[in-house]
């Protein structure tokens, strides 16, 4: 899995982007022509072969809890609104921009939580756009006063659109001057909408937590042509961590975490730790052979804001200009009817 983004668009196959740029030093073309040529190669998958699609990636995992695991719906007990923005590789033409917003709350009469998640993802300067929305229900089972299990199911619908005018093809290339010819390719299907289903489970105590989520259970078909047998592979996410107060330091906590994700043949391992002192939060993550993620956050009782910068350590480091991500979370007041209710204490960002 592309460690920086885990993103392969559905037939404009943008997968494993590090692989496409690893040959910079061997190519003598100018940079502009190189980027156009690379995008041409990627776009050619629209018309031939199979395509493998993958999901956008966020670096602030717990600031977008419903995206990480649908079992997080309602875990804040009171209504929660989360908004996320990510700009990946702004130094490269055709960067990746993703917006996400979610709302969730616990419902006592349902002994669980309800949530809504919406997202918009733009790849290749708008050449491929994905927009989706989903509803989530989670059920909480308290094993005892200190340990609970929460299971969630998610059902949604998303639509992918291709702007054929933004694409370039191999028959447009002239060896000396680059893209000067008209293409003989004819635009075909411009968009496709599909239903999508996911599920997850979360177990937690007062200090420790862990969970597993499986997205795209039915592996929906999202190809733009009949020839390209493009299905969205299942994504498996396993995450675990702890929030440990430092008794010798007043108001200090540390939170070590691990997240593993697999989608098709791509794998990603994230190792990191958060450190908090009162309202201030800092964090540092390592994403396997791809990026180091630095986080700074500020949290109050009802409002949280966080910023991360991904320092690319792969062969794209000099060209990508890293990745920027911003999150805001609002938690609204509510009346707590049930006193004996375990809430999860997990990282904010």
pLDDT tens digit sequence for 177-188: 777 777 776 667
When mean pLDDT is compared across 2-11, 69-78, 105-114, the lowest value belongs to 2-11
Rounded average pLDDT over 81-91: 93
Kindly tell me if the per-residue pLDDT of 221 is higher than 90. no
Give the Cα separation of 280 and 211 in Å (integer). 26
pTM of the entire predicted model: 0.82
Q: Could you read off the pLDDT of 142-166 as tens digits, one per residue?
A: 888 888 999 999 999 999 998 877 7
DSSP state of 251: T
The residue written with tokens 């559905």 in the block is 10
CB neighbourhood size of 29 (10 A): 11
**Conformation bin of residue 126: beta by default, left when phi > 0, alpha when psi is -120 to 50:** left
CB neighbourhood size of 3 (10 A): 23
Q: What is the CATH number of domain 17-331?
A: 2.40.160.40
Confidence of residue 327 (pLDDT cuts 50, 70, 90): very high
Q: Between residues 38 and 25, which one has the greater pLDDT?
A: 38
Q: What are the residues whose beta carbons fall under 8 Å from the beta carbon of 207, sequence distance 6 or more?
A: 242, 243, 244, 345
Kindly tell me if the per-residue pLDDT of 34 is higher than 80. no
Give the Cα separation of 226 and 188 in Å (integer). 10
Do residues 152 and 73 make contact, with C-beta atoms less than 8 angstroms apart? yes
Q: Where are the domains of the chain?
A: 17-331
Do residues 105 and 81 make contact, with C-beta atoms less than 8 angstroms apart? no
pLDDT of residue 42: 37
């Amino acid at each position: 899995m592309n460690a920086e983004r885990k993103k392969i668009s559905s037939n404009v196959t943008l997968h494993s982007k590090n692989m496409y740029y690893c040959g910079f030093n061997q190519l003598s073309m100018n940079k502009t022509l190189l980027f156009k040529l690379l995008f041409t190669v990627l776009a050619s998958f629209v018309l031939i072969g199979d395509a493998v699609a993958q999901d956008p990636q966020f670096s602030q995992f717990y600031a977008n809890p419903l995206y990480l695991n649908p079992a997080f719906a309602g875990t804040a007990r009171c209504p929660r609104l989360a908004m996320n923005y990510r700009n990946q590789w702004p130094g490269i033409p055709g960067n990746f921009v993703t917006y996400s917003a979610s709302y969730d709350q616990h419902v006592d009469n349902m002994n669980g939580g309800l949530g809504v998640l919406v997202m918009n993802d733009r790849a290749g300067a708008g050449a491929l756009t994905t927009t989706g929305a989903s509803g989530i229900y989670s059920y909480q089972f308290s094993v005892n006063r200190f340990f609970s299990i929460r299971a969630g199911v998610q059902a949604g619908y998303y639509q992918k659109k291709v702007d054929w005018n933004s694409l370039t093809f191999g028959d447009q290339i002239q060896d000396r001057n680059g893209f000067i010819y008209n293409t003989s390719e004819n635009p075909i299907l411009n968009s496709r909408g599909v239903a999508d289903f996911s599920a997850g489970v979360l177990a937690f105590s007062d200090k420790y937590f862990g969970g597993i989520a499986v997205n795209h259970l039915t592996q929906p078909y999202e190809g733009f042509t009949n020839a390209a047998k493009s299905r969205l592979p299942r994504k498996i996410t396993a995450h675990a961590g702890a929030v440990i107060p430092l008794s010798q330091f007043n108001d200090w906590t540390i939170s070590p975490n691990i997240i593993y994700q697999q989608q098709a043949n791509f794998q990603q391992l994230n190792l990191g730790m958060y450190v908090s002192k009162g309202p201030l939060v800092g964090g540092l993550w390592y994403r396997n052979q791809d990026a180091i993620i630095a986080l700074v956050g500020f949290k109050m009782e009802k409002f949280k804001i966080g910023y991360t910068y991904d320092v690319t350590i792969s062969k794209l480091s000099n060209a990508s200009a890293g990745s920027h991500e911003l999150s805001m979370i609002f938690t609204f007041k509510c009346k707590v009817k049930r006193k004996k209710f375990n809430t999860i204490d997990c990282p904010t960002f």
